């Protein structure tokens, strides 16, 4: 009887492990160049605001634009670290960008603007429940708590989980926002808007079923 019980436990454990989809983190930035990324800017005649220096993605802030992944993703957990170079300014982490490389594509932005990191913005009509309209094509869902950002020059961490139609945002370990009603697949991007900053450890973990 004991042997049969032990056998059943082993069998159950095997079935559970088989039902789990193994995932491992994917380094989206290799620390050397921008392979696997696509730059989109408002001024194609100007120098690109995106470069690589000292193992980081450096963003000039001008011209306006974004650096998106070459591949779209479904459910994932995104880890990104950023810091301001000089005066804190504005940037963002774009989630679930829909097809088309216009300057204002349909997407959800995790705001990185100094003092407001963790706000969620709906751009170009991306569906997001509970957001307050800010203009004809922009709405905002404010972060839950006071700023959890670190001083300029220090590294910050953003953890963004996209699972199904839900997005959850943590800034330096603090839960700052959640939303539903978004698209369930799209590209990711780092934004150039305002001032210089650096990104590093851009890492995505696919989420299994």
Average pLDDT over residues 144-173: 97
Structural domain of 121: 22-206
| 109 vs 188: CA distance, rounded Å | 10
In a domain, 15, yes or no: no
In a domain, 28, yes or no: yes
Q: Are 91 and 112 in contact (CB under 8 A)?
A: yes
In a domain, 17, yes or no: no
In a domain, 116, yes or no: yes
In a domain, 3, yes or no: no
| 72 vs 101: CA distance, rounded Å | 13
pLDDT band at 21 (very low <50, low <70, confident <90, very high): low
**Number of domains into which the chain is organized:** 1
Tokens of 197: 């900053």
pLDDT band at 84 (very low <50, low <70, confident <90, very high): very high
In a domain, 108, yes or no: yes
Average pLDDT over residues 98-118: 94
> What percentage of the chain reaches a pLDDT higher than 90?
78
pLDDT tens digits, residue range 169-198?
Answer: 999 999 999 999 878 999 999 999 999 999
In a domain, 183, yes or no: yes
Residue 93: the pLDDT is 98
Q: Phi first, then psi: give them for residue 17, nearest 5 degrees.
A: -65, -35
Closest by CA position to 137, among listed 120, 119, 124: 124
| 88 vs 59: CA distance, rounded Å | 13
Average pLDDT over residues 38-67: 96
CATH assignment at residue 80: 2.60.120.560
Q: Are 40 and 103 in contact (CB under 8 A)?
A: yes
Average pLDDT over residues 68-84: 98
Q: Phi first, then psi: give them for residue 13, nearest 5 degrees.
A: -60, -40
Residue 4: the pLDDT is 47
- Which residues are within 8 A (CB) of 165 and not within 5 positions of it... i.e. 6 or more apart? 180, 181, 182, 183, 184
- Residues counted in the chain: 209
In a domain, 133, yes or no: yes
Look at residue 10 and tell me whether its pLDDT is greater than 90.
Answer: no
| 126 vs 121: CA distance, rounded Å | 9
């Amino acid at each position: 009887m004991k042997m049969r019980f032990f056998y059943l436990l082993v069998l159950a454990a095997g079935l559970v492990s088989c039902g789990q989809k193994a995932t491992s983190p994917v380094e989206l930035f290799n620390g050397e160049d921008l392979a696997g990324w696509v730059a989109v800017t408002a001024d194609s005649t100007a120098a690109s605001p995106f470069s690589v220096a000292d193992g980081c993605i450096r963003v000039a802030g001008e011209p306006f634009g974004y650096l998106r992944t070459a591949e779209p993703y479904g459910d994932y957990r995104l880890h990104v670290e950023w810091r301001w170079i000089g005066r804190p300014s504005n940037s963002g982490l774009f989630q679930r960008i829909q097809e088309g490389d216009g300057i204002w594509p349909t997407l959800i932005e995790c705001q990185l603007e100094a003092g407001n990191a963790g706000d969620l913005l709906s751009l170009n009509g991306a569906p997001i429940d509970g957001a307050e309209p800010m203009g004809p094509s922009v709405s905002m869902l404010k972060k839950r708590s006071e700023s959890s950002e670190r001083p300029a020059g220090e590294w910050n961490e953003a953890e963004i989980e996209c699972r199904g139609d839900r997005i959850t945002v943590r800034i330096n370990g603090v839960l700052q926002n959640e939303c539903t009603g978004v698209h369930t697949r799209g590209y990711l991007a780092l934004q150039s808007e305002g001032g210089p900053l650096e990104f590093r450890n851009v890492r995505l973990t696919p989420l299994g079923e």
